Amino acid sequence: MALAPLALAVVFLPLAASAIAGLFARAIGDRGAQLVTCGAVIVSAAISIPLLREIVLSGGPHVVTIAQWMAVGRLDIAWSLRLDTLSGIMMATVTIVSATIHVYSIGYMAEDPSIPRFMSYLSLFTFFMLSLVTANNLVQLFFGWEGVGLLSYLLIGFWHERDSANAAAIKAFVVNRVGDFGFALGIFAVFLLFGSVNLPTIFAKAPEVAHSTIDFLGWQAPSLTLASILLFIGAMGKSAQIGLHTWLPDAMEGPTPVSALIHAATMVTAGVFMVVRLSPLFEYAPGALGLVAVVGGTTAIFAATIGMAQNDIKRVIAYSTCSQLGYMFFAAGVSAFAAGMFHLFTHAFFKALLFLGSGSVIHALGGEQDMRRMGGLWNKIPITYAMMWIGSLSLAGIPFFSGYYSKDAILAAAWASGTGVGRYAFSLGLFTAFMTAFYSWRLLFMTFHGRPRAGEDVMHHVHESPWVMLIPVFVLAAGATFAGYFMEKYFIGSESAAFWNGSIFVLPGHNTVAAARHVPLYIGLLPTFFALAGIAVAFVGYILQPELPARLAFRFRALYLLVLNKFYFDEAYDRLFVRSAFVMGDGLWKSGDGTVIDGLGPDGISAATRDLARQASRLQSGYVYHYAFVMLIGVVGLVTWYLVR
């Protein structure tokens, strides 16, 4: 079959390029590293499209086995590539976005002293992401999952002389690992249930074990619901859902291309991918699906609320990502997996576009990220300005841009599901659509319109980005504009059954994507209406009456501070977990090991021995009358004993 070599090339080219750029940096130089990595990823992207076509046409999942990984007892895990429409779509999305960002980085990082390291990291990230999406067992999925987490850590902390970057990097990895703790337990539970961690076995046996229970920490839990929820905790960490979201805004410490690739388009969507990939499991765990929908809906509105008050251009987009991921999750939660995947696909384009656009702004302003020191840029960098408009229109779901198709599908499906959680998610999603449009246009107006608030000399140097940065942006803009229109019929429309080919599983009664086609007209129109309202409010507040937001913030000061400070999650976590861990560690060390264990153990015993010896030695005083006295007592004692006996 011709599939195997193509798929292997797509996955391993970035790895090879990363190794070359990373290990032989001195030999090939900056330019060489850029050429090797960009070349490899572009070839990968170019192959991924015919590969996807080939996969869709040939049907059914193909598995390319590479090698045995771990085989112990019943556990049997192989390194392999699972090729079906779902992984094909992900491979194409990842490699295309990755290729544009590789090229963009040539321009963006031109002044950086560690270009080979950066390019090598980007390519290695791409490899791990590809090994994640092509996994045929949960453990390889976990391998890719941890790999992208590692690269996320390395790239957030890329400018390692900054303390804030280092702190953000560690925070990202540790919070992700808290999620992975759930993921790992989920894998163990799956192995306990199915005797296997391989996807085909799990999918085949899921209906059988649907009604069994397992004992978890003394609780008789419905087995599939438990396993699914544990796995979903992992997804929450990676996809920055409420509770485990705190790392994502801080992750903006990394260079902007990183934010675009990892923290918008690909890695953070891995959680959504995981839930969709395991749809045959989640479908039989209605409790878990309900949780997914509630968490997704809540995160969507929660993050959007925070996004409305932030002043750092990248943080606004970061919270927007968090919120959009919420949309994808509640789509999955109402069994509209295909709609969730569709949004993942369009979101990759328009969000990467927005990040690269904001990167161009930051680049133009010499590193400035605070929107309060921007403004009036639109005629200085018109191409970037236009690109940001396209991204925002798509993000807000304005008709006929990509985001419109996918977001509408999600909301319609949530409404059509007819369940309580579905309605909950629908109404939150609707308000989120309003907020999304509001913060997007707030960003546009603050950045590009009004009076220039940057310094004279900064404004003087404002310049449009070079072509090497603009062309990738054009590619993404094309995706953000047209991908929705052209792909709708495959993802969720008339061709969807043939397209997905069974790689997404939905129980017969749950087909909300199909039901969404028959929702009343006003349900279809509402999101657009809310989005337009959001734009209008932003127009009033930031163009017509620019003093209004400050007045409102002053009037509702407590509320404003709450939102501005992100509901004080960071502060609470710092108190609850970080500081208490250090206090506990200190206590366990100094009091536990030092005072108690050593005090009672070796030091105590040696001190006791020394004391005893000292006491004993005191008896040998050297005075004859002492010895005589002791002897006398002895004699008296002996005699008494004999007499009394």
Partner 1 sequence: MTHLPLLSLVTFLPLAGAFLILVTRGDEKVVAQNARAIALWTALIDFAVSLVIWAEFDPSTAAFQFVEKARWVSIGGFTFTYHMGIDGISLFFITLTTLLTLISVVASWESITYRVKEYMLAFLVLETLMVGMFCALDFILFYLFFEGVLIPMFLIIGVWGGPNRIYAAFKFFLYTLLGAVLMLLAIIAIYFQTGTTDITVALHHSFPFGLQKWLWLAFFASFAVKLPMWPLHTWLPDAHVEAPTAGSVILAGVLLKMGGYGFLRFSLPMFPLASHYFTPLVFVLSAIAIVSTSLVALVQTDMKKLVAYSSVAHMGFVTMGAFALTVQSVTGSVIQMLSHGIVSAALFLIVGVVYDRLHTREIARYGGLVERMPVYALVFMVFTLAAVGLPGTSGFVGEFLVLIGTFKVSTPEATIGATAMFLGIAYMLYLYRRVIYGVITRGDLRAMRDLSFREKAVFAPLILVVLWLGIYPQSFLRPIEPSVAHLVHQVAAANAAAQVHEAKLF
State the residues that interact with partner 1 by CB under 8 A: 67-73, 75, 139, 142-143, 146-147, 150, 153, 157, 160-161, 163, 166, 169-170, 173-174, 177-178, 180-181, 184-185, 187-189, 191-192, 215-218, 581-582, 584-586, 588-589, 592-593, 597-598, 601-602, 606
Nearer to partner 1, 217 or 521 (CB): 217
Write the secondary structure of 541-609 as one string of H (helix), E (strand) and C (coil). HHHHCCCHHHHHHHHCHHHHHHHHCHHHHHHHHHHHHHHHHHHHHHHHHHHHHHHHHHHHCHHHHHHHH
The one-character DSSP state at 266 is S
What is the distance between the alpha carbons of residues 432 and 296, in angstroms, rounded to a whole number?
Answer: 12
* Secondary structure E strands in 295-367: none
Residue 390, token pair as written in the block: 């396209």
- Minimum CB–partner distance for residue 70 and partner 1 (Å): 6
Rounded-to-integer distance, Cα 149 and Cα 172, Å: 8
Distance (Å, rounded) from C-alpha 573 to C-alpha 636?
74
Contact indicator for 17, 95 with CB cutoff of 8 Å: no
**Is 122 or 473 the residue whose CB approaches partner 1 more closely?**
122
The closest of 114, 513, 216, 459 to 340, measured between CA atoms, is 513
Closer residue to partner 1 (CB): 75 or 383: 75
Decide: helix, strand or coil at residue 80: strand
For the bound state, the minimum distance from the C-beta of residue 160 to partner 1, rounded and expressed in Å, comes to 4
CA angle 346, 349, 351 (to 5 degrees): 100
CB of 188 to partner 1, least distance (A): 4
How near is the Cβ of 3 to partner 1 at its closest, in Å?
24
Torsion angles phi and psi, residue 502, rounded to 5: 80, 5
Name the minimum Å distance from CB 37 to partner 1.
18
Instruction: Output 45 or 184, the one with its CB closest to partner 1.
Output: 184
Say if CB 330 and CB 297 are below 8 A apart: yes
CB of 155 to partner 1, least distance (A): 13
CB nearer to partner 1: pick between 185 and 362: 185
- CB-wise, 138 or 538, nearer to partner 1? 138
Specify the residue, 65 or 606, whose C-beta has the smaller distance to partner 1.
606
- Tokens coding 495: 């061709």
Report in angstroms how near the CB of residue 183 gets to partner 1 at its nearest.
Answer: 9
CA distances from 463 to 365, 372, 432 (A): 8, 19, 34
| Cβ nearer to partner 1, comparing 24 with 69 | 69
Rg of the chain over Cα atoms, rounded to whole angstroms, equals: 31
Tokens of 574: 């710092």
d(CA 86, CA 180): 23
Q: Would you say 47 and 9 are in contact if contact means Cβ atoms under 8 Å apart?
A: yes
| Amino acid occupying residue 614 | R
Q: How far is the CB of 92 from partner 1 (least distance, A)?
A: 25
Residues 133/266, Cβ–Cβ less than 8 Å: no
In the complex with partner 1, the residue whose CB is nearer, 159 or 431, is 159
Closest CB to partner 1 among residues 73, 509 = 73
- Find the shortest distance in angstroms from Cβ 141 to partner 1: 10
For partner 1, which is the closer residue by CB, 188 or 431? 188
- C-alpha to C-alpha distance for 328 and 348, rounded to whole angstroms: 12
Angle between helices 557-564 and 548-555 (to 10 degrees): 100
Residue 314: CB minimum distance to partner 1, A: 21
Q: 133 vs 339, which CB is nearer to partner 1?
A: 133
At residue 405's C-alpha, the angle toward residues 339 and 308, to 5°, is 95
Q: How far apart are CA 94 and CA 88, in angstroms?
A: 10
| Min dist. Cβ of residue 208 to partner 1 (A) | 19
As given in the structure block, the two tokens for residue 486 are 């052209």
97's CB contacts (< 8 A; 6+ apart) are 260, 261, 265, 266, 348, 349, 352, 476
Residue 607 CB, shortest distance to partner 1, in Å, is 13
| Nearest CB to partner 1, comparing residues 99 and 190 | 190
Tokens of 429: 């999603």
Q: Least distance from C-beta 618 to partner 1, angstroms?
A: 25
Residue number with CB closer to partner 1 (68 or 212): 68
Please report how close the Cβ of residue 305 comes to partner 1 at its closest, in angstroms.
28
- Alpha carbon of residue 459 to chain centroid: 35
Angle (CA) 41 168 549, round 5°? 100
